Structure formats: structure tokens, C-alpha cells
Amino acid sequence: MLFKGVGYVKIMKTEQEWMDELETEVKERTAKKDLCQMFDVEWSESLRGFSVGQLREQIGLRGVIAKKYGQRLRGEHFNKTPEEYERCLANIAVRTMTIPGRYSLKHASRIVGVPVDYLNQMRLKGIVSCKSIGRANFFSVETLKEELKGPAAQQFFAARRYEYQP
């Protein structure tokens, strides 16, 4: 189809070419949405820029990180680097307390029956161990119970005249 403008001739796409282009775009988008549904990824319009192959690769990279924090993959996080993504999920996990087997200072203190202040002081002195992600500390309750039975913890409790009941 020819279009005559002012002093030049511009060749436009035919109707069939437009339909073919639209059809391939729809097929690709459907394939992406199917892929997201298969791997339980929350769809976002920001995923439109990825090809199906890139999307599959990104799901593989980020799926490991998301599983680590017990989170669902979200499409809007795909434009972040894996490091930024991990930091973002750690912040979400801190707010929602969703790291499997790991508890915040407050929750861990309730579970083991030690006041929050004492547990925090023991963490600062290195009597009990925890994993730090950003500004948050996560305690493994099983490890914490073992450490609270140790001589350093017993000495700490004795100095404060606190009777710890495991």
C-alpha cells in the first residue's frame, strides 16, 4: 500500500502484516503468562519487556531467592538485580516474619520464654547466635534452645538472678 505525502512516498505495512505482527505478540504474551502461571509468578506489566527465554532464566534465578524467604515471585521485582531483589525480600520477610524456621527477636523470646532485653543482650555479647539480614536478626529456635542451656547463658542468667526454665 502506498501513501503519497508531500513530496515523498512512504511504504506502509499491509493489513496482513499488521495482523501477523499482532498475532505473534498475542502468542508471546500468552506464552509468558502461561509460564508465570506455571511457576506461580504474580504477573506484572513490567514483564512485557522480557522474552520468553529471558523470563524463564529470571524465574530460575529469583525462584531460589524467593523460596529461601518463603515468598511468592512478583513480576514487578524482575527489573531489580538479584542482590537488590534479595534485600527487598529480606525487608518483606522482616515485616511479615515469613522466613521458614527463623524467628525475629520478639517471636523467638516468646517461644523460648526469655525476656526480649535479655535475649538481645546475649546476642550482642555473642552468647546466642543469629543470622543478620540488613538490620534484622533471625533466630533459629532449635539452636537458641541449645545455646540457652550452655554455661555462658547460665552464667548470664545467674548474674541477673533470672531463673530460666527450658
DSSP letter (8 states) at residue 48: G
Q: Would you give the distance in Å from CA 107 to the centre of its chain?
A: 21
3-state SS class at 22: helix
Q: In this predicted model, what pLDDT tens digit does every residue of 153-166 receive, in sequence order?
A: 889 888 888 887 77
pLDDT at 98: 56
- On whether the CB atoms of residues 156 and 125 are closer than 8 A, the answer is yes
- On whether the CB atoms of residues 47 and 80 are closer than 8 A, the answer is no
pLDDT at 95: 63
**Residue of 111, 116, 46, 118 lying closest to 77 (CA atoms):** 46
pLDDT at 35: 78
Q: Rounded to the nearest 5 degrees, what angle is found at the Cα of 138, between the Cα atoms of 143 and 100? A: 80
- Relative to beta strand 2-4, strand 73-74 is unpaired
pLDDT band for 135, please (50, 70, 90 cuts).
low
Q: In this predicted model, what pLDDT tens digit does every residue of 23-75 receive, in sequence order?
A: 888 888 788 888 777 777 777 777 777 777 887 787 777 777 777 766 777 77
pLDDT at 22: 80
Burial class (CB in 10 A: 0-12, 13-18, 19+), 78: buried
Q: In this predicted model, what pLDDT tens digit does every residue of 86-102 receive, in sequence order?
A: 887 777 766 666 566 67
Q: How far apart are the first and last CA of the chain?
A: 84
Q: Tell me how far CA of residue 148 lies from CA of 15, 101, 125, 155, in angstroms.
A: 75, 18, 13, 10
